[in-house]
Each structure stands twice: as C-alpha cells, then as structure tokens.
A and B are shown apart, each in its own frame.
Chain A
Amino acid sequence: MNIDTRKRELVKELSPMLEKSSLLSKIWIAALISIILVGLYAFVLQLANGHEVTGMRDNVVWGIYIVNFIFFVCLSYSGAFIAGVLHFFETPLKNSIARIVEITTVLSLIIGPVFILLCIGRLDRLYYLFLYPRIQSPISWDIIAILTDLIGCFVYLYLTFIPDLAILRDASKENAEVPNWRKKMYRFLAIGYQGTPSQHKRLHKIIRIMSVMIIAMAIVAYSVLAWIFSLTVQPGWNSTIFAPYFIISGLYSGIAVIIIAMYIIRKFYKLEKYITKIHFFAGGVMLLIISLLYGYFTFSEYFSRWFSHKKHDVDLLNTLFSRYFWQFIFANYFGILMPIAILFFKKLRTVKLVTIAAIISVLGIWLNKYLIVVPTLETPYLPIQDTRAEFVHYTATWVEWSLSLTGIAAFCLFFTLILKFVPAIPMSGIIDLEKGKQSKREKNNPIVTEF
C-alpha cells in the first residue's frame, strides 16, 4: 500500500466535510447562532440588573448555573480520561473516534467555567482572585486545577492534530479551491511535520506521556470540584465518597455524550464506514460498566443517609421524596436502571438503542446533579422561616434556562466549526491502523484488530 496515495484518497473522501456547506448545515448553524444571541441578551440583562433576574435567592444561592458547570466540567474530565485511556492502551477503537472525544473534552472545558462566572456577583472584580489569592479556599484549588487541566488538554489536542494538519497542508498545496488563509494556517500549525519515522516516533512518545498526564489531571481537577461541596458541613454535601462519586458520574455522562456525538456525526457526515457498529457496541459495554458503578455509588450515598437517619439527613430525604419525588425517581432510578436494562442484553446493543440509553443517562446525570445542589440548599440546618416563595424554593428563570441552552448551543456550534477545519476522523489514525493491519498480515499473524 502506498501511504501517499492513501493519504490523498482519504483527503478526497473526507474533504467534502470541510468544503461544502449543505443547506441543512446552514440552517443548523443559524439556529445555534440565534439561540446564542438570545443567550447573550439574557447575559446583558443579568449584567445590567444583577442576579435579581435569576431564580437564585438567599437560601438557594447556587442554581442551574452551577449544575451546568459541574456537568460540562465533568464532561471534559471524562473526555480527557477516555482519550487518555484510548491512547495509552493503543486500542484500535481510538483511530476513528479519538478526535470526537478530544474535541468534546476541550470544548466542554472552555464552556464549563463560563457557567461558574455566571454565578459570580461581581464579575468586574474577578481579577481579585489573583490579586488577593487565598490558597486555603477550595475555589482557589479549583481555579488552579481547571487552568492546569485546560492547558494540558489544549496541548494534548494540538499534538493529536499535527499529523492531520500536515496531511491537509500537503493536500491543499495543489488544490486551488482551498482558500489561501487556510493553506497558511495548515502550514503554520503543522510546524514542519513531515511524517518521517523519527518524527512519528517522537510525536507518539509525547502523546503517550501527555495521555497519562491528562488522566491524572482529570482525576485531581474533578476531585477538587467535588470537594467544593463535600468540604462544607451541609447535610447533603458533607460526604466522603463525593470525589470518586463525581468522577464516576462524570465518566458516565462523558461516555454517553460521546456516544450521542458519534451518532449525530455518523448520520450527518455519512461516516458509517469509519464509525461502525463495533464502536457503539464497545461504547455500550463501557456505559454499562460505568452505569453499574454509578448506580452502586448513588445507592451507597443515599442508603447510608437513610439508614443512619440523622435528623438533618432525614429532613433532606423528606424534601427529596416529597417536592422532588419525580425528579428523584427519574434521575436515580430510571436514569440508572433503564440504561442498564438496555445495555445488559447483547442483542439490544444496537446503534439506536445504545444512543437512546446514552440520552437517558445524560438527562439522568444532569438531574442527579440538580438534586445534589438545590434540595440541599433548600434544607439548611435552621429551618427556612420566610413568607417569600422565591426565598423558600428555587425555580430557574428564563434567563437561566436561556443561558444554559446557550452553553449547549455554543458547544454544538464550536464542534461544527472545528469539523469544518479538520475532519471528524483522524486520517493519520486510519493510516496507522491500516499500516498496522498490513504489517500484521505480512507477518502471517492472526488479525486481532479486524472488525
């Protein structure tokens, strides 16, 4: 097999993704932009009128912003984790989906912290965090952890992009249709990578080291996030298992979001050849394992509270099982048992059903986090004795919902735009995979990686 011709074939095959904009994709982008514009209006409103426009009040001082913050940040950590594992163990699966995982990681790590900024009453004083830092505060730990992780993930993502950028640079040289700025950009970003064996070896070594590092950073950063809650003395938060619980729930939602992304990208760009049933099958098995773990953690958390029935824990459980009954049932029963029920049976692990299980998981996780944040704040040690309904119970306002949707829309929009710049399938990965298969065939070894 001639590598150069194969590269050219791949570019030809995948470049329509980069060049043409179909009507559907235009509508899609327009819709996303309009959601974001509404969100920007909501943001201006919040900036001008203060947090009064949100549903947050003195008892529930953190609302769905912080739920979104946890959700997106946990998405990124799990993305980093999965990307790191895929690369470190050199699984053949990585070659087609690694890029989806990596983009998910970086985008959610950019969008997540924006939500914590929305919780801050005085954005104009944000630099005080660096001007008057107090290292004792878990918030300071969180800032350090997230910034480190963000930089690490960026470096990692860029490293994995280099071979493809080099391929695109070479391919676009002769292609007159590619605009000049793109050619320049590809040339600049490929930093002279030619794919020589020594370069190839060195790059892979660095990526391997980085993959281990981002796994470690993900664990640290997500533990710190969980500690923001569990280091307080509040009844629903002060839990020793919160850090591992959050890591597991992060993996759960991360795998689920990646499965959903795989499904949409596969459908939209017609990549059935590269993102195969096997990927969904494997994703489904991973989701099953993590959902069992996640269910176990959830059960342990609430079971010990219920069994030991300390007064304030009982108060919290009463709130959860009265006002939040259906949410609790959906998040912690349906959201865990349903995916398990689907994924448990081999026959049910089809592309569609795995995706449905993934959607249920994502919704369940979001609600689970909501139930960790809001009911706890509604059930403080001293009972809330107030006549103002909005101070007793939290209801998110349209501003909060709009900004939450903006986060999702921005995620989708950036995802779409990145896929216009580099293909969803890492070409170098496909070539490596095919090379590997060929060399194995030549050695007359049994083909392990075939699927």
Chain B
Amino acid sequence: MKKKQTEEGGTDRRKFLKLGLMTSLTAITGASIVTSLAAQEEEKEPTGEMIRLLTPDGKIVEVNASNINKYPEALITPEESRKGIPDRKFVMVIDLAKCKNARKCVEECQKAHKLDEHQEFMKIQLIQNHEEGQPYWFPKPCFHCDEPPCVIVCPTGATFKRDDGIVLINNERCIGCKFCVTSCPYSARQFNWGHKEKFDDKSQPYSPETGVPAAEGTVMKCDFCPDLLRQGQLPHCAKACPMGVIYFGDKNEDIVTNGEETVRFSQLINDRGGYRHLEHLGTKPNVYYLPAVNRQFPLERGFDIDEEIKERYKDVPYVQELKKQGKI
C-alpha cells in the first residue's frame, strides 16, 4: 500500500514545502526552516507588515516583513555549513525498476555544480549482479554514509558529517592528500587535477553547500544539494528525473518524495525490498535502492545515448552479447 499525496497544480517545490508544513503539525519540533521559508515565500505583504514565523526551536514569532533575512539566498559560510539543517535526517531512495538511463539527473547536476563533461557527481553505471541476471541501470550519487570512511581518514577535517546526515567537503580546508578518495569504497569522490578557468569565477561566493567554485588540487563529490534543501526544494537530480526514479526526503519525518508522489519512507523500503549497496562494508549509507523488478523499460532503451557514453559499458558481458545480436 502506497500512500499517495498528489496535489494539483503548483511546482514540485511547492509540494515539498507543503509536505514540510503538514508534517510539522504532527511533529512540532520537526518543523523548521522549511516551514518558515514557506511562510515567507507565500506571504508577499508590503513592507511594514508583520509576519508570523516559526523559529527552528519551535516558537512562533512576529517580525517585520522587511527585516526577514533572505535566508535561502544568503551565503552559508564554511563554518555554518558544518552544522547542518536542524532536526533533519536526509535520505534518498533510488527505484532501479524505473531507471532507463535518460541521464537527465547527471546533466542537471553537472549544470548546477558547474561540472565539465566527464565530471559526474551522479554516475550511471550498468551493473550485472551475476551471470544469470540481467544488468540494470544503477544511478550512483554519494551515499552520505553514517559511518563514512572518507571522514575518518581526513587529516584536516576538510570533509565532515553533519547532523542532518550529509557528508560535505570544505574545499578551502582540503590539502589534497586524496586519502578520502582511496578509502571511499563507492568511488564517489573526484579530484581537480589541474587548473580551470571556472575556478577563478568568483561571482558566486564559495560555500561548501554548493561546492562552487571548485578549487584546483582539492576533492569534490555529490553533496545532496543542501542549498536547495534549505529552500525546501528537492536536489537537482531528483527534480530532473523524468521517470521519478529518485525519491528524496527526511528520515525523521519518515517521508520521501520524487516530486510526483510522496510516500512513507519505511513503507516504501519494506514493501519494495529496499537495500543499501555493499551493506556488508558497514558504512551505513543513506541512499537506498529498490531492486530492479517489474521493470518499466527494457534495458536496451538505455542505449539511446551518445556513442561515447555507450562505449563506457562495453565490458559488461550482456552488452557484448547485445552487440553481437545487433540490438544496439
């Protein structure tokens, strides 16, 4: 049984906001910035009006509308970014049954994080569990582990685990020793090997929450887009996916949404047999996968892509077979 809360009209973002509002009724302390933001956005009063806001610690206060700090747009400094969004525990669920390698998540993520062609925070791999099994498309972000091997080994604390579950990198603190890259079992991290012009573009001040601009000789990776989360929006990948593969939400509130449907996280995981990749390593990821059963698309649909990207999967035995049969 899936609990659907589809609402008419409005953007995905709105829904996510309202979701925040509703849940805050049941768990007052769980309310937060998201709700206060909602209030701020929706009430467009002229200057001088008073607005009632819910503070992060659960109190309702009345403030002058002109005094409201434009929090979403405000720069989150490296120091602030270490704390995390209060009372949240972010979690992602990726439904492998729906993925057809459309690569919209990859492209949007690259655009938002100003990444180059081959730099992908979200990678789509083609995984074949065993000889008998059919391979499946496997979107792979950073897993934001609860026992992150990368954070333990960092000698300067440049990469850190926040209270809301997100693992972030402060590239102003990173010395580029690459130890975190070698200790991540999921190959989630990438290194800036040389200098690029875009690093000098200081029009957007640096914040670990956006990761922009990147810096030479430092590490970067998927960050769950905390800048969007603060605005009550879904991460770029989840927003961009046309199939609704990527669910994102809050474990504390036990709710995840892919922008179209909003479901209970625990129920989704239990009903659909959700699992975490390489569970036996003990890293406790915060990204869950729903197995690729009852697929909505045949695997071959995923090969409707650039020749270069197709070449990436040439070592998968199943692909070699498809090629022999002339199917792709």
Interface residues of A (CB under 8 A from B): 49-52, 56-59, 61-62, 119-122, 125-126, 128-129, 131-134, 136-140, 143, 228, 231-234, 377, 380-388, 391
Select A119's contact among B173, B178, B216, beta carbons within 8 Å. Answer: B178
Q: A387 CA to B173 CA in the complex, in Å? A: 32
- Contact check, A138 vs B153: say whether CB atoms are below 8 A apart: yes
A385: chain B residues within 8 A (beta carbon): 123, 125-126, 312-313, 315
Give min CB distance, B242 to chain A, whole Å.
22
9 contacts between A and B (CB under 8 A): A50-B192, A51-B217, A58-B181, A121-B178, A121-B217, A129-B155, A131-B156, A133-B156, A228-B179
Q: A382 CA to B186 CA in the complex, in Å? A: 6
Q: A129-B175, A134-B156 are in contact. Are A49 and B182 (CB under 8 A)?
A: no
Select B156's contact among A51, A128, A232, beta carbons within 8 Å. Answer: A128
Q: A129-B156, A382-B125, A383-B125 are in contact. Are A121 and B185 (CB under 8 A)?
A: no
Does more than half of chain B's interface fall in helix, strand or loop, or is it mixed?
loop
Q: A128-B156, A137-B153, A140-B155 are in contact. Are A51 and B187 (CB under 8 A)?
A: no
Q: How many A-B residue pairs have CB under 8 A?
A: 133
B140: chain A residues within 8 A (beta carbon): 382
Q: A61 CA to B189 CA in the complex, in Å? A: 11
B195: chain A residues within 8 A (beta carbon): 49-50
Q: A232-B149, A385-B313 are in contact. Are A121 and B191 (CB under 8 A)?
A: yes
Give min CB distance, B170 to chain A, whole Å.
10
Chain B residue total in the interface (Cβ 8 A) = 46
- Contact check, A62 vs B157: say whether CB atoms are below 8 A apart: no
Select A233's contact among B157, B187, B190, B281, beta carbons within 8 Å. Answer: B281
Q: A56 CA to B190 CA in the complex, in Å? A: 12
B192: chain A residues within 8 A (beta carbon): 50, 121
Question: Interface 1/0s, chain B 159-195, versus A by CB < 8 A?
Answer: 0000000000000011111110111011101111111
B191: chain A residues within 8 A (beta carbon): 51, 58, 61, 121
Q: Which of B236-286 contact A (CB under 8 A)?
A: 278, 281, 283
Q: Tell me if B99 is interfacial: C-beta within 8 Å of chain A.
A: no
A59: chain B residues within 8 A (beta carbon): 187
Residue of A nearest to B119 (CB): A58
- Contact check, A122 vs B157: say whether CB atoms are below 8 A apart: no
Give min CB distance, A136 to chain B, whole Å.
6
Question: Interface 1/0s, chain B 118-129, versus A by CB < 8 A?
Answer: 100001011100
Q: A382 CA to B156 CA in the complex, in Å? A: 27
Q: Tell me if B110 is interfacial: C-beta within 8 Å of chain A.
A: no
Give min CB distance, A341 to chain B, whole Å.
36
Give min CB distance, B181 to chain A, whole Å.
5
Q: A386 CA to B193 CA in the complex, in Å? A: 17
Q: A132 CA to B157 CA in the complex, in Å? A: 7
- Contact check, B218 vs A122: say whether CB atoms are below 8 A apart: yes
Q: A56 CA to B217 CA in the complex, in Å? A: 12
Q: A58-B189, A58-B190, A132-B173 are in contact. List 10 more A-B contacts (CB 8 A).
A: A58-B191, A59-B187, A119-B177, A121-B176, A121-B217, A132-B157, A134-B155, A232-B153, A377-B182, A382-B140
Residue of B nearest to A140 (CB): B155
Q: A19 CA to B159 CA in the complex, in Å? A: 55
Select A234's contact among B178, B182, B312, beta carbons within 8 Å. Answer: B182
Q: Tell me if B154 is interfacial: C-beta within 8 Å of chain A.
A: yes
Q: Tell me if B305 is interfacial: C-beta within 8 Å of chain A.
A: no
B175: chain A residues within 8 A (beta carbon): 120-122, 125-126, 128-129
4 closest A-B pairs (Cβ-Cβ)?
A: A121-B176, A121-B217, A52-B194, A139-B155
B157: chain A residues within 8 A (beta carbon): 132, 134
Q: Tell me if B200 is interfacial: C-beta within 8 Å of chain A.
A: no
Question: Interface 1/0s, chain B 128-159, versus A by CB < 8 A?
Answer: 00000000000010000000010011111110
Q: Tell me if B73 is interfacial: C-beta within 8 Å of chain A.
A: no
Between B174, B176, B308, the greatest number of chain A beta carbons within 10 A of the residue's beta carbon is seen for: B176
B311: chain A residues within 8 A (beta carbon): 387
Q: A52-B194, A382-B140 are in contact. Are A121 and B218 (CB under 8 A)?
A: yes
Q: A58 CA to B190 CA in the complex, in Å? A: 6
- Contact check, A120 vs B177: say whether CB atoms are below 8 A apart: yes
A62: chain B residues within 8 A (beta carbon): 178, 182
Q: A119 CA to B155 CA in the complex, in Å? A: 14
Q: A49 CA to B155 CA in the complex, in Å? A: 25
Between B177, B183, B194, the greatest number of chain A beta carbons within 10 A of the residue's beta carbon is seen for: B177
Q: A257 CA to B185 CA in the complex, in Å? A: 36
- Contact check, B154 vs A137: say whether CB atoms are below 8 A apart: yes
Q: A140 CA to B179 CA in the complex, in Å? A: 12
Q: A381-B278, A385-B125 are in contact. Are A50 and B216 (CB under 8 A)?
A: yes
Q: A62-B178, A126-B175 are in contact. Are A234 and B193 (CB under 8 A)?
A: no
Residue of B nearest to A132 (CB): B156
- Contact check, A381 vs B185: say whether CB atoms are below 8 A apart: yes
Between A50, A228, A388, the greatest number of chain B beta carbons within 10 A of the residue's beta carbon is seen for: A50
Q: A385 CA to B152 CA in the complex, in Å? A: 27
- Contact check, A61 vs B173: say whether CB atoms are below 8 A apart: no
Q: A129 CA to B187 CA in the complex, in Å? A: 24
- Contact check, A137 vs B178: say whether CB atoms are below 8 A apart: no
Give min CB distance, A321 to chain B, whole Å.
17
Q: A120 CA to B118 CA in the complex, in Å? A: 23
Between B158, B173, B175, the greatest number of chain A beta carbons within 10 A of the residue's beta carbon is seen for: B175
Q: A132 CA to B172 CA in the complex, in Å? A: 12
Q: A129-B156, A233-B183, A385-B312 are in contact. Are A139 and B193 (CB under 8 A)?
A: no
Q: A121 CA to B176 CA in the complex, in Å? A: 4
Give min CB distance, B94 to chain A, whole Å.
14
Question: Interface 1/0s, chain B 68-101, versus A by CB < 8 A?
Answer: 0000000000000000000000000000000000
Q: A211 CA to B90 CA in the complex, in Å? A: 55
